[in-house]
């Protein structure tokens, strides 16, 4: 049942009082936010694949948080806040002229061609804070744009990136054998030619706080590399699943082989009957006990007192024997 809002109730009462009911007014639900789907540029990565990246870079955020804290000797907190698939030009257009990009090469064993590099951009206030700390300051910054970075500042920044880029390898090691290597710093991100503007990328946004200075670390992952990684990961999961099933089957066979020589007691139950104690006491040779069972009915073969088979009584080499007819279903 739909519940009317107060504005809808007031509009309904006003229309009744004025006598102008007319056509029913359609109220839009402000809580519903429809999102148009662009069929010309469909999404390449599923929610499950983005969830995998969420796990990888949540771990990476924790690792670099402790690593930067030990390097800078300041409280540093890094958290993953968003992962989104975009076109590269959307990421590039959001950059400022004074931003600097770290170009990170990828080494993948399954790649048939050299993948596009990973790009990392750190907010300028965070960069200024880290440089201030590395030069002996308290890590403070005035949050103002200092203009272009000097050669010394770029060298300091490159040295810091050299420390945090290899940590990405450890975050991926449980999923894929991939290596990241810092290449260079690009001081003019608008002129980057390594990635085509229409290529699909995944943007990982990390929130970082250093000594009360807040900012973001934006990591641009190339789509062509991610396709190879995720395809290999899914293939690896299928192979691991088949290997596990094979190992389980072999383990079961080994267990059955090891216990196959065990001795078990087998009994044949011909039938059951209830007899009064006085009849048992008066019983003599020649008396007959009715087993309440048909003459041609199968006997029950019990293994360790548990019914397993049904069988037919007979003789074999002058010995009483039972021929197995089937399994006990109940």
What is the arithmetic mean of pLDDT over 20-38?
A: 54
- Looking at 237, 253, 276, the residue that finishes a domain is 237
For residue 254, is it within any domain?
no
- Between 119 and 148, the more confident residue is 119
At 198, which CATH number? 3.40.1550.10
pLDDT digits (tens, 9 = 90+) for 228-269: 887 777 665 544 455 666 677 778 888 888 888 888 888 888
Terminal C-alpha separation, the chain: 50
Token representation of residue 229: 């990684």
Mean pLDDT across the chain, nearest whole number? 81
Domain membership of residue 213 as a residue range: 47-237
Q: Quickly list DSSP for 254-268.
A: HHHHHHTT----EEE
Phi, psi of 18 (to 5 degrees): -80, -10
pLDDT of residue 22: 53
pLDDT of residue 45: 83
Are 218 and 281 in a shared domain? no
pLDDT of residue 207: 94
pLDDT of residue 24: 53
Nearest residue to 218 (alpha-carbon basis) of 124, 290, 306: 124
For residue 142, is it within any domain?
yes
What is the arithmetic mean of pLDDT over 4-26?
A: 64
Compute the radius of gyration of the chain from its Cα atoms.
38
Token representation of residue 117: 């590099």
pLDDT of residue 1: 47
**Angle 6-9-10 from CA coordinates, rounded to 5°:** 85
| Spatial separation of the C-alpha atoms in residues 83 and 78, rounded to whole Å | 15
Are 279 and 218 in a shared domain? no
E strand or H helix at 93, and its extent?
helix 88-93
Residue with tokens 């019983």: 283
Does the pLDDT at position 180 exceed 80?
yes
Are 227 and 310 in a shared domain? no
Residue with tokens 């209830």: 274
Are 276 and 229 in a shared domain? no
Q: Is residue 80 very low, low, confident or very high in pLDDT (cuts 50, 70, 90)?
A: very high
Number of independent structural domains in the chain: 2
Does the pLDDT at position 314 exceed 80?
yes
Are 60 and 118 in a shared domain? yes
Cβ atoms < 10 Å from Cβ of 291: 13
Q: Is residue 128 very low, low, confident or very high in pLDDT (cuts 50, 70, 90)?
A: confident
pTM of the model: 0.59
For residue 178, is it within any domain?
yes
What is the arithmetic mean of pLDDT over 74-94?
A: 89
For residue 11, is it within any domain?
no
Q: Is residue 5 very low, low, confident or very high in pLDDT (cuts 50, 70, 90)?
A: low
| Residue 195: Cβ-neighbour burial (10 angstroms; 0-12, 13-18, 19+) | buried
Token representation of residue 213: 């200075």
Does the pLDDT at position 51 exceed 80?
yes
- Looking at 218, 237, 256, the residue that finishes a domain is 237
Contacts with 196 (C-beta within 8 Å, 6 or more apart), sequence order: 88
- Identify the weakest region by mean pLDDT among 27-41, 57-71, 140-154, 216-230: 27-41
What is the arithmetic mean of pLDDT over 101-105?
A: 91
For residue 42, is it within any domain?
no
Are 179 and 320 in a shared domain? no
pLDDT digits (tens, 9 = 90+) for 31-43: 555 656 555 666 7
- Looking at 219, 237, 255, the residue that finishes a domain is 237
Are 88 and 184 in a shared domain? yes
For residue 257, is it within any domain?
no
What is the arithmetic mean of pLDDT over 183-211?
A: 85
Are 177 and 214 in a shared domain? yes
For residue 60, is it within any domain?
yes
What's the number of CA atoms in the CB half-sphere (13 Å) around residue 294? 4
At 278, which CATH number? 2.30.330.10
Token representation of residue 93: 């257009």
Are 207 and 147 in a shared domain? yes
For residue 2, is it within any domain?
no
Are 93 and 233 in a shared domain? yes
Does the pLDDT at position 120 exceed 90?
yes
- Between 145 and 297, the more confident residue is 297
Are 216 and 302 in a shared domain? no
Asked whether 177 and 192 are in contact (CB, 8 A), the reply is no
Q: Is residue 96 very low, low, confident or very high in pLDDT (cuts 50, 70, 90)?
A: confident
- Identify the weakest region by mean pLDDT among 13-17, 187-191, 288-292, 314-318: 13-17
| Spatial separation of the C-alpha atoms in residues 161 and 119, rounded to whole Å | 12
pLDDT digits (tens, 9 = 90+) for 56-68: 999 999 999 999 9
pLDDT of residue 216: 93
Are 53 and 185 in a shared domain? yes
């Amino acid at each position: 049942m739909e519940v009317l809002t107060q504005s809808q109730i007031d509009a309904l009462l006003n229309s009744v009082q004025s006598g102008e009911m007319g056509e029913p007014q359609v109220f839009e639900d402000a809580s519903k936010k429809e999102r148009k789907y662009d069929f010309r540029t469909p999404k390449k990565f599923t929610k499950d694949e983005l969830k995998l990246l969420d796990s990888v870079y949540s771990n990476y955020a924790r690792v670099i948080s402790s690593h930067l804290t030990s390097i800078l000797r300041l409280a540093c907190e890094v958290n993953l806040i968003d992962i989104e698939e975009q076109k590269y030009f959307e990421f590039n257009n959001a950059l400022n002229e004074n931003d600097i990009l770290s170009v990170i090469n990828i080494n993948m064993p399954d790649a048939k061609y050299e993948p596009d590099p990973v790009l990392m951009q750190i907010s300028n206030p965070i960069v200024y804070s880290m440089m201030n700390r590395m030069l002996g300051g308290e890590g403070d910054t005035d949050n103002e744009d200092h203009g272009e970075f000097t050669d010394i500042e770029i060298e300091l920044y490159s040295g810091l990136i050299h420390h945090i880029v290899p940590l990405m390898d450890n975050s991926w090691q449980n999923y894929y054998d991939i290596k990241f290597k810092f290449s260079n710093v690009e001081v003019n991100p608008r002129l980057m030619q390594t990635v085509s503007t229409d290529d699909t990328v995944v943007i990982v946004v990390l929130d970082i706080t250093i000594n009360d200075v807040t900012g973001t670390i934006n990591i641009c992952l190339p789509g062509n590399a991610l396709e190879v990684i995720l395809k290999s990961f899914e293939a690896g999961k299928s192979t691991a699943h088949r290997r596990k099933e094979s190992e389980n089957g072999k383990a079961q066979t080994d267990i059955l082989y090891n216990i196959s020589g065990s001795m078990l007691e087998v009994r044949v139950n011909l039938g059951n009957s209830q007899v009064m104690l006085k009849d048992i006491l008066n019983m003599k040779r020649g008396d007959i006990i009715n087993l309440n069972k048909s003459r041609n009915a199968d006997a029950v073969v019990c293994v360790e007192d548990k019914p397993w088979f049904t069988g037919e009584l007979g003789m074999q080499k002058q010995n009483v024997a039972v021929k197995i007819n089937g399994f006990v279903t109940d």
